[in-house]
């Protein structure tokens, strides 16, 4: 599934990539903007390493701004991003008792007074309020330099989990593979060496030829298709000419274009095509 996800992440436009991943580092789209042109990534692991590397190599000023962009834990009157709200809900930090909330706020304030930035922790790695409180108390004894490094490491862990969540959603809205098969109705034989081009959003994402069996299986490098509209273009006139068929000038059928849609969670799409110089038919195969 991760392979499918990274293939589709690599196909996103610049704006789409930044929209999807711009907030994995809280209120800091500059990270996604810094890496978008590093694509294609070979794996989700590489993408995460590149994004977290940008943060780790950033200036102290940028790191401090990133840490300060994170919300304090346990406050019920501050506006949270959707991601932060979900994470704090999971850790049950939005349903604390009055006593628990008072303790957390007092520790938060002591932490901010000492380090001049909020306490940041990847709450998804902690299974209870008590474990978060214990971590906060321990970190209060750290030096400022060590605590900044720890906060950045926690932020990178938060971002890693968010990236993996987004990648999983992207993978779940894809079909895993696509193929086509051409049959020449005149000869009753497979149509070999027909040029095939696949388009998505008016952009060619694959170009190849049918094999001796008339089949064209798209390679792994272009597998994993987001839901949406696609088009196959079959250059049949060139094929008919090579077969020696008499064609009109211009040919009645030059390029056959088949528009089709891919919907989510379908393992394989097969688009067969039956062709002659003056007609064709297609259907959803299996």
Active site residues: 70
User: Which among 258, 280, 264, 283 has a CA at the least distance from the CA of 272?
Assistant: 283
| Tokens of residue 37, six digits | 């042109």
Give the residue from 130, 257, 143, 133 showing the smallest Cα distance to 199.
257
Six-digit token string for 279: 């007609």
213, 192 Cβ separation under 8 angstroms? yes
- Answer for the pair 120, 151: CB distance below 8 angstroms, yes or no: yes
- Residue 131: exposed, middle, or buried by beta-carbon count in 10 A (0-12, 13-18, 19+)? middle
CB 88 within 8 A of CB 94: yes
Please identify which residue in the block is written with the tokens 């089949």: 215
């Amino acid at each position: 599934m991760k392979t499918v996800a990274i293939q589709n992440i690599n196909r996103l436009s610049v704006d789409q990539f930044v929209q999807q991943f711009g907030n994995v580092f809280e209120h800091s789209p500059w990270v996604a903007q810094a890496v978008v042109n590093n694509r294609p990534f070979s794996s989700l692991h590489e993408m995460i390493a590149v994004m977290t590397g940008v943060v780790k190599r950033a200036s102290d000023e940028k790191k401090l701004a990133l840490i300060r962009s994170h919300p304090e834990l346990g406050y019920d009157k501050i506006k949270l991003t959707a991601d932060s709200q979900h994470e704090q809900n999971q850790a049950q930090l939005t349903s604390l008792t009055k006593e628990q909330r008072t303790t957390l706020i007092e520790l938060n304030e002591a932490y901010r007074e000492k380090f001049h930035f909020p306490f940041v922790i990847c709450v998804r790695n902690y299974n209870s309020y008590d474990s978060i409180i214990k971590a906060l108390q321990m970190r209060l004894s750290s030096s400022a330099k060590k605590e900044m490094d720890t906060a950045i490491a926690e932020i990178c862990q938060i971002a890693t989990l968010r990236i993996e969540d987004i990648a999983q959603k992207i993978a779940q809205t894809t079909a895993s593979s696509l193929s086509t098969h051409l049959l020449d109705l005149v000869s009753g034989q497979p149509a070999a060496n027909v040029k095939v081009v696949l388009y998505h959003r008016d952009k060619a994402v694959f170009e190849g030829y049918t094999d001796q069996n008339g089949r064209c299986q798209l390679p792994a490098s272009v597998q994993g298709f987001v839901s949406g509209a696609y088009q196959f273009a079959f250059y049949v006139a060139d094929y008919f000419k090579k077969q020696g068929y008499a064609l009109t000038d211009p040919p009645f059928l030059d390029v056959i274009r088949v528009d089709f849609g891919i919907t989510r969670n379908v393992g394989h799409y097969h688009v067969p095509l039956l062709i002659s110089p003056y007609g064709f038919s297609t259907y959803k195969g299996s």
